[in-house]
Structure 1
Amino acid sequence: MLAAWDMGSPLNTCWTWITNLRSLSVLGLASSLLAVLLCVRLYRRLAKPSRGVDLQKPIGTLTQRNVLWSSGLGSTPFNLFYKIPGFLASGISAAMRYPTHPRRFPKKKDDSGDAAEPPKPTKQTVEAFLVLDIEGTCNRDTGFDYPNEIIEFPVCLMRWKDKREDGLASELEVVDEFRTFVRPTWRPTLSEFCTELTGITQAQVDSAPLFPEMLAQLHQFLMKNELLDEHGQSLVRFCWCSDGPFDVRDFVVKQCFISKVRVPSWLQGDILDVRTLVLKHLTLLHPPDKSKTKKQNSKRVGVFSAAAVLRTFVVFMGLVTQPWASATRRTMNIAAQLKALDLSEFAGREHSGIDDARNITRVLAALARKGTPLQPNTPIQPHRRWPWMGPRRGEILEENLII
């Protein structure tokens, strides 16, 4: 009897087939049940009455009742299988024909803000903002740990023009600019990729000052605008602002090591990461419903909720643009920040330091008008080290480079 169950016996082969068929049947049944449950859940959300077309609300309120039924969805969940493409098409087109959310479809985008929404003065403790966007040497395959050398150092100085005695303010303006190219010393020849990315030519950096000379020029600029005294002491409270922490945290600290100078005291301290501030602002615009539990809120905006599925589909297909719908730190670049705040498009050339800095000032001014407190939010480590740094300042261990 045991011999009949040998590995090559017909009985064993037959039993293997039966086991495989049973596994496939169980898997198919589970998949079918899951599909039915998802379709029923989607149908229930779709069949709810609507209060208007609003892409920021769950899918149950995405289209009006007449649009829903005119799309041919029907009154039973079984029609969902073959009529959902028509519903998506009609629902999306209806959302584009009958927009009711003024921030999603503004009549005119400019930097003056929504005319119906006046500026919101807020308590502001920082007097001046130094917006910068540094450009550095790079190759196509270099990572964040590469010893980049600064080749462009632009700064836009912003001050309040309506600050009251009680500290309330809402209007920022650019009052002065500083810009210079910087000559690299460790790798003095720019790569073709670097020139294509930044628009900076070899001739521009060859005739530029070295980094220590640039620091002296920048100090003079800050003294002229009464931010520092001749000894480098602050006269008013100011902070550095950039798109992300990299400009001061990485570029300045690396360059000071390469140039054998200490990070100036007025370049240390916390900075204002504008990208982080924009993401926080967008999150506060769409807070969780306090009347619901944490579990209910997670279901309402979860990955598998019908609302999230449709919003993801609409944004992915490019039919309706929602810059904040799937915003992450990586995707929320300067152009996306302008779009999310309903400002006009990026002005100038992206990855040009001065153009990037000028567009960041527009973002910062828009946040100020909306009543956002502008405070430093990112610490800087002036003594940070990378594996390529040798024991002495200026010494680069090329064998430790991570490319």
Structure 2
Amino acid sequence: MDSGQHLLNVVDVEATCWDGEPPTGAVSEIIEIGLTVVDLARGERVGRHRVLVRPTRSTVSSFCSELTGLTQAEVDTGVAFADACRLLATEHEAWARPWASWGDYDRHQFTRQCSTTGTGYPFGRRHTNAKLVFTEAHGLRKRPGMAQALQIAGLPLEGRHHRGEDDAWNIAALVLGLAARGAWPQEPY
């Protein structure tokens, strides 16, 4: 079997956020897409990508900058959301390749933002909630955050937490750990 058939996109997004309610008229928008390509057959991370996205209906708050390290000036250099979705589809085969995220936030954020902007949804239907798989595989009662899951798995937190590129890389390490244990689903659900 071709190893291309064993590739999985692990996605983590950062979005505009506030300490409390958003300012009047502002909505949470994706400002960074982190994507790590995992080769499940070889058991390794084979690609690491970052796409900065320029928000149009909100700005990066100081709270958001403290959390993510991203600034308004930095995301202003990004691409439009529709262009980011096209990039996911063309360069990362997002429509054809199964994908995973830590929880359902990322999937819901893409769904919402695609709907409100009239942008085609870039992913196929084969999504796996890695947080749910990890929780079940480790027999946990509560679903852990990514950083806590890394501690449980005995893995280091690489890079900066709440930076999409780094979080996708770390989530991919958790996915590979689950796959090595035989706990990663063969067909994403």
Q: Same fold (TM over 0.5)?
A: yes
- Percent of aligned positions that are identical: 30
Higher normalized contact order (CA 8 Å, seq sep 6+, divided by chain length): 2
**Cα distance, 1:366 vs. partner?**
0.8
Q: Which amino acid aligns with 2:77?
A: S
Task: Name the SS for the 1:184 alignment partner.
Answer: coil
Alignment of 1:45-194 (within 5 A): 127-142=6-21, 147-162=27-42, 172-187=43-58, 189-194=59-64
Alignment correspondent of 2:176:
365
Asked whether 1:342 is paired with 2:154, we answer yes
Give deviations 1:305-348, integer Å, cap 9, x for gaps.
Answer: xxxxxxxxxxxxxxxxxxx5xx512xx111211121222x3111
Structure 2 length normalisation: TM-score?
0.86
Q: 1:222-301 maps to which residues of 2 (within 5 A)? A: 222=92, 227=93, 234=96, 238-248=97-107, 250-264=108-122, 267-283=123-139
In 2, the alpha carbon distance for the partners of 1:373 and 1:263 equals 25
Kept in 1: contact 2:85–2:120 (CA 8 A): no
Which is richer in strand? 2
Match of 1:198 among 52, 68, 89: 68
State the number of aligned residues.
Answer: 181
Structure 2 residues not aligned, in runs of 5+? none
Flag as ranges the 4+ runs of structure 1 deviating above 4 A: none
State the AA in 1 paired with 2:72: Q
| 1:208 counterpart SS class | coil
SS in 1 for 2:85: helix
Contact 1:149 1:254 in 2 (8 A): no
Q: Which residue identity lines up with residue 240 of structure 1 in the other structure?
A: W
Distance in 2, matches of 1:201 and 1:221, equals 26
**Superposed displacement of residue 259, structure 1:** 2.2
For 2:115 and 2:145, the matched residues in 1 are separated by 28
- Taking structure 1 as reference, are residues 181 and 328 closer, same or farther at Cα in structure 2, changes over 3 Å only? same
Secondary structure at the residue paired with 2:165?
helix
Could you tell me how far 1:257 is from its partner in structure 2? 2.5
Structure 1 pair 269–161 and aligned structure 2 pair: CA distance change class (3 A): closer
Check the 8 A contact 1:159/1:173 in 2, yes or no. Answer: yes
What is the RMSD of the two structures over their aligned residues, measured on CA atoms? Answer: 2.1
Secondary structure (helix, strand or coil) at the match of 2:98 reads strand
- 3-state SS of 1:130 partner: strand
TM-score in terms of structure 1 length: 0.42
The alpha-carbon deviation at position 161 of structure 1 amounts to 4.0
3-state SS of 2:87 partner = helix
Contact 1:148–1:254 (8 Å) recurs in 2: no
For 2:98 and 2:90, the matched residues in 1 are separated by 17
- 1:245-285 CA deviation, whole Å, 9 max, x = no partner? 1101x210121123222323xx14141111111111112xx
Contact in 2 for aligned 1:134/1:150 (Cα 8 Å)? yes
